[in-house]
Amino acid sequence: MMVEAATPRPRYALIDMGRGIALIAMVIYHAFWDLSYLRFFSVDVSADLGWVIFARTILASFLFLVGVGLVLSHGKAIRWRTFWKRLAILVAAAALITFATVMVFPDAFVYFGILHAIALFSLMALPFLRAPLWLVVVVALVIMALGWGYSDPFFNERAFSWLGFWTIPPLTNDLVPIFPWFGVVLGAIVTTRLLIASGRMATLDVVKASNPPKRALAKLGRWTLVIYLVHQPLLLGALYPLSLVLRPGAEFQQQQFLSQCQSTCLAGGTGPDQCTTYCQCGLTGVIDNDLWDGVNSGRPTPSEQAALNTITQACSALIYPVAPK
């Protein structure tokens, strides 16, 4: 049976700096997400392809580093006291995120975000720290293949969406499902174990925190959880009052409406010219009927919803006219 390791885990500046870089990238993404949410930035960060790729790259980086850290900390023998202490901190932090987002975003609160995933994945990864490498590789590939290749409407329900097989993304501000993302942690475990087995871990120690920028990155990487917990309250705490004072102008609001409408329309398979006509029609209807409150809140009143439905039908008729009888 594995016992508590007597020797401390090795610390590599390169890994700490990697966490620091991922952390800076995450803060940049969330800053622009906030700007988009508060309508200072016309691009829908949560849907734009470039921003989505950026966000998933950041997520993959964090999860890969989780796998690396697990091998370095517990690869020879699981340090149970350290493991349970960190897991308890992660679970408490994840619960705090859920509570806070229920208060701020009740319709899109975070119920299985990055911290929830790291806590669960850390526990799930323990058997793979010493399992045969071929088995870890096979499981990682199967998890990633299923995550990217299988879906079923059954998993659209919130209760099952954390597995990752939905056909329609659930309404939440952060979701990191087991499939395919646990496969990234396993991939990191395989990579790190191969480096250790080949005697090449020393190559990671070549990079030192030898100058102020590198030392700053390494220090950031050692405070990842704390910075993750405080950065969004600080960002929103600064930007939200600013939005109340400056209030994004009508032109910006209209541009954002058209951009989001065009993206949704094109994703539905309608041609670009038809989408332009449809969205311009919709914008005119929203302006003429003063429906911005219902559009911006995402929760229109029954009368606003009825007006929006009428506009949608009228604009749809422009691009899909009913054939005369």
| pLDDT single digits (tens) 17-34 | 999 999 999 999 999 999
The three-state secondary structure class of 182 is helix
pLDDT of residue 250: 66
Task: Enumerate the domain spans of the chain.
Answer: 13-244, 250-319
Asked if 74 contacts 126 with a C-beta cutoff of 8 angstroms, the reply is yes
Q: How confident is the model at residue 291 (pLDDT cuts 50, 70, 90)?
A: confident
| Closest C-alpha to 86, from 123, 58, 57 | 123
Q: Which residues of 231-259 are buried (b: 16+ CB within 10 A; e: fewer)?
A: ebeebbeebeeebeeeebeeeebbbbbbb
Please, what is the average pLDDT of the chain? 88
Q: Which two tokens stand for residue 113?
A: 């975000």
Asked if 179 contacts 164 with a C-beta cutoff of 8 angstroms, the reply is yes
Asked if 280 contacts 313 with a C-beta cutoff of 8 angstroms, the reply is no
DSSP state, residue 126: G
pTM: 0.77
List pLDDT tens digits, range 227-277. 999 999 999 899 888 877 776 656 677 877 888 898 888 888 888 889 999
d(CA 13, CA 44): 36
d(CA 258, CA 279): 6
List pLDDT tens digits, range 121-142. 999 999 999 999 999 999 999 9
pLDDT of residue 244: 74
Rounded to 5 degrees, what are φ and ψ at 199? 75, 20
Burial class (CB in 10 A: 0-12, 13-18, 19+), 102: middle
Q: How many CB atoms lie within 10 A of CB 286?
A: 21
The three-state secondary structure class of 167 is coil
